[in-house]
Amino acid sequence: MPFGTQPNAGDEARRHSEGVVARTIEDYTARMPSDWFLWAGGASIVASATLHLLGRKEDAQFVGHWAPTLLILGLYNKVVKVAGSDRIHAS
């Protein structure tokens, strides 16, 4: 590419296009309300605390480890909704 020229936005988008699996997952996750993940993460924290108070410490740790995963999935869900899944393949 000659100095001072900008790449075509369409060419750049094609080089960074998502695959079929990613587009399919993003299509399904975009349909889910983001607050489901927030509620599920919160429920995991409450359930973990309850199990801990009941003396079931290993179960509490197991359930407590779900919270970060659920919250990250909620973040992914929000990003897909805001940024769109792909600039090349229209849903």
Reduced 3-state DSSP string for 15-56: HCCCCHHHHHHHHHHHCCCHHHHHHHHHHHHHHHHHHHHCCC
Q: Is residue 63 part of a domain?
A: yes
pLDDT at 48 over 60: yes
In a domain, 60, yes or no: yes
What's the CA gap between 29 and 91, in Å, rounded?
13
Q: Is residue 19 part of a domain?
A: no
pLDDT, average across residues 55-60: 96
Among 66, 70, 80, 69, smallest CA distance to 35 is for 70
**Cα 21 from Cα 36, distance rounded (Å):** 23
Does residue 22 lie in a domain region? no
Q: What is the pLDDT of residues 30-41, one digit of tens each?
A: 788 888 999 999
Whether 39 is in a domain gets the answer yes
Range of the domain at 47: 33-86
pTM of the model: 0.64
At residue 90, does pLDDT exceed 60?
Answer: no
Tally the domains of the chain. Answer: 1
